[in-house]
Chains A and B, each alone.
Chain A
Amino acid sequence: DAGITQSPRHKVTETGTPVTLRCHQTENHRYMYWYRQDPGHGLRLIHYSYGVKDTDKGEVSDGYSVSRSKTEDFLLTLESATSSQTSVYFCAISESGQGAEAFFGQGTRLTVV
Chain B
Amino acid sequence: GIQVEQSPPDLILQEGANSTLRCNFSDSVNNLQWFHQNPWGQLINLFYIPSGTKQNGRLSATTVATERYSLLYISSSQTTDSGVYFCAAGESPETSGSRLTFGEGTQLTVNP
CB of A50 within 8 A of CB of B97, answer yes
Chain A interface, >50% SS class? strand
CB of B99 within 8 A of CB of A48, answer yes
Q: Given known contacts A90-B43, A104-B43, A107-B42, is B103 in contact with A45 (CB within 8 Å)?
A: no
Scan residues 58-113 of chain A and give those whose CB is less than 8 A from a CB of chain B.
Answer: 58-59, 88, 90, 92, 94, 96-104, 106-107, 109
Chain B residues lying within 8 Å of A42, measured Cβ to Cβ, are: 4, 86, 88, 102-105
Is B1 part of the binding interface, using a Cβ–Cβ cutoff of 8 Å? yes
* Contact among B41, B91, B103 for A106, CB-based, below 8 A: B41
Contact surface of B with A, Cβ cutoff 8 Å: 1, 4, 29-31, 33, 35, 41-43, 45, 48, 50, 86, 88, 90-105
Contact surface of A with B, Cβ cutoff 8 Å: 30-31, 33, 35, 40-45, 48, 50, 56, 58-59, 88, 90, 92, 94, 96-104, 106-107, 109
Query: Could you list 14 A-B pairs, sorted by A, with CB under 8 Å?
Result: A30-B97, A33-B99, A42-B102, A42-B104, A43-B102, A44-B102, A45-B99, A98-B30, A99-B30, A99-B92, A102-B31, A102-B33, A107-B41, A107-B43
Further contacts, 14 of them, CB under 8 A, given A35-B102, A98-B30: A33-B98, A40-B104, A42-B102, A42-B103, A43-B86, A43-B102, A45-B99, A50-B97, A98-B93, A99-B31, A99-B90, A100-B98, A104-B45, A107-B41
